[in-house]
Structures are given as C-alpha cells and as structure tokens.
Amino acid sequence: MNDLDALQRDALAAIEAAEHLDDLDEVRVRFTGKRSDLTAIQKGMRDLEPEERKARGQALNAFREAFQAAFDARYEQLQGAALRERLEAERLDLTLPPRRVPPGRPHLLTQVEQEMLDVFIGMGFRVAEGPEAESGSYNFDLLNIEPDHPARQEMDTIYVDGFDDVVLRTHTSPVQSRVMTTSEPPIAVVCPGRTYRADAVDATHSPVFSQIEGLYVAEDVHMAHLRGTLLAFARAMFGADREIRLRPSFFPFTEPSAEVDVSFDGPGGNHGWLEILGAGMVDPNVLTFCGIDPDRYSGFAFGIGIERVAMLRHQVRDIRELFEADARFLARF
C-alpha cells in the first residue's frame, strides 16, 4: 500500500504546484494517463489473490477520488485566475481622453455656393441643373449666339473631341435654355455649376470656374425686378449697407444688358465699386427660340461667378488658391 500512499502524496503535491491550466492537464496525464504508475498498478491487479485484489481495488478508488477532488478544486481556482488575468489584460480605460479627429468641412467654394443659393431660394427661386458637356444648341444657338458671332471666339470655347457640336459649357446660361424649352412661365430658377473656357491660368483666370445662373420669366417682368433681386442678393452676401450699380453692357441673350457692380468701403476711406456679375432682360429672340411667347411674357437673367464672390467675401487674392487644395488655406474657412 505504501506505493499508493506515496503516489497520492506526489500527485496532490503536483496538483497544488500547478500554476496554469496547462500544468494541471500535464499533471493529470502524468498521474492517470496510459503510461502512468496508476495504469501499471491497475494492470498488476490481475496477478493478485482475490483478498488482496479487493483491498487494492478499494485503495485505488480512494486514490482516484482524492485525485479527482484535488484536481477539481485546483481547476476551479486556476480557471478563475485565468479569467481575471484576461479581464485585466483587456481592460479599457474609459477615463482616457479620446484622440481628436478633426472633422472635415465643405470647401470654401461649396460653402459660398450654398450661401448664394440660400439667398435665392429664400426669394422663391428653385434650383435647376444641366450637363457640363453641352450641345452647341443649348450653349449658343438658343441663346441667340449665331455660329459666327464673335462671342463664340471671345468665350474661348473648349470643344469635345469626336462629337459633333458638343462643347464644355462656357457658361451656365444653357440651363436657362433647357428650363425654358421644357416648362411654362412663371419660371424662377437658379442654376449652379462648373463652366469651362480655354483661358490660361493666372491670378484671376482659370479654365474651370463656376457660376450661378438666375432666370425669372413671367408676365410683366421688368428691369426694376432685376435690380431689386440683385440688390437684395448683394446685401445678403456682402452687408446690409451695400449698394449696387448697373452699367450698360452687351450679351447676345439679353437686351438691355448690364454689368453689375457692388459698392465697398475699404480701409482709409477707400470707396469704390467691384464688378460681380452680368445680367439683363431676356432677349425676345431667346424666348421665341425656347417656345415662350415674347408678347405675353418677359424675363430677366443674370450670371454670377462663384469664385469671384468667394474671393471678394474672403479677401482671396489668387484664384488658384481655390483649386490647389492646400490644407493650410482650406483650414481658414
């Protein structure tokens, strides 16, 4: 019996000494596995006398019970410890301040475009859009710009290769033609979008720029409606004390036409006027081309450069800053 007592002492001591669940498993294999002393003792049983075998059997059972009880107790302890260790390792410190991710924001041009549209939407205009690759018919013909009209050269048109009569629109006015050919007065739309001209890049020119076109066609629309609309716009965008001034000008699609300036008060008593847009009364030819009766209806139209408004509003000296995406510039707005 002494061998079993000794075995039990060793086994319980090994269980007690196990520090991880892995060690404990190893102890189980060592003391109860196929190649263990226990298995050898069990095998030796068949050679014993019945009397002896019975006593030996009881002793073996006692060993197994003692082993199992010690094993289970240790298992529970070690498992609890393993769980605590894992929870400790995966612990989240909810009191740590979060890392700051700077929020993005719309580009200055988008912000200014939205502000401008808001002003016109507030007056009752709705937004209409058209394609940037446009037919010469909408961009020129329906707008009273004949094929050999100098305006076609002046606008330095970019033609689209491989297509008959497709241009990158030189202004947002073709959206006027589109709206007028597909709807009945009263019409009140503003049309924002990109426009293209084959201009060399410098501080005030870019081959890609953007405009907002405005169009109002109804009965009895006259020049004072145009002036009032543009004055309200200028005051909303630049300040309640602003004035506007209309200078005679020429556009093939408006008659009469005007260049519109907004007043400014600079530093040191420096007063002056800055040109912000082109406008006029829709030429009766344009109404006719677009299927609207010029004897019944009249209208006004205007086209505003968004870059120009953004530059005036925010003292941007060079138009290239609006397209270069320099983070230091963008972060100012």
- In the complex, the residues that contact ligand PHE under the rule CB under 6 A are 171, 173, 213, 251, 254, 278-280, 301-303
| Sign for the pseudo-dihedral over CA of 72, 76, 77, 79 | positive
For residue 243, the minimal CB distance to ligand PHE (Å) is 20
CB of 213 to ligand PHE, least distance (A): 6
CB 30 within 8 Å of CB 88:
no
Q: Looking at beta carbons only, is 11 or 175 nearer to ligand PHE?
A: 175
How, if at all, do strands 158-159 and 298-305 pair?
unpaired
Give the C-alpha separation, 135 to 327, whole Å: 37
Instruction: Write out the two tokens for 90.
Output: 């995966």
Helices of type H across the chain:
2-17, 21-32, 37-44, 50-89, 108-123, 136-139, 150-154, 173-182, 223-238, 284-289, 306-314, 327-330
For the bound state, the minimum distance from the C-beta of residue 155 to ligand PHE, rounded and expressed in Å, comes to: 8
> In this chain, which residue has its C-beta nearest to ligand PHE?
303
Query: Given the complex with ligand PHE, which of 11 and 282 has the nearer CB atom?
Result: 282
Q: Measured from the CB of residue 254, what is the shortest distance to ligand PHE in angstroms? A: 5
Smallest distance from the beta carbon of 267 to ligand PHE, in angstroms? Answer: 31
Q: Hey, is 304 helix, strand or coil? A: strand
Tokens of 208: 């890609």
Residue closer to ligand PHE (CB basis): 27 or 301: 301
CB-wise, 66 or 117, nearer to ligand PHE? 117
Closest CB to ligand PHE among residues 157, 254: 254
Beta bridge partners of 247: 259
**Residue 12 or 252 with smaller CB distance to ligand PHE:** 252
Q: How far is the CB of 330 from ligand PHE (least distance, A)?
A: 27
Residue 207 per-residue DSSP state: S
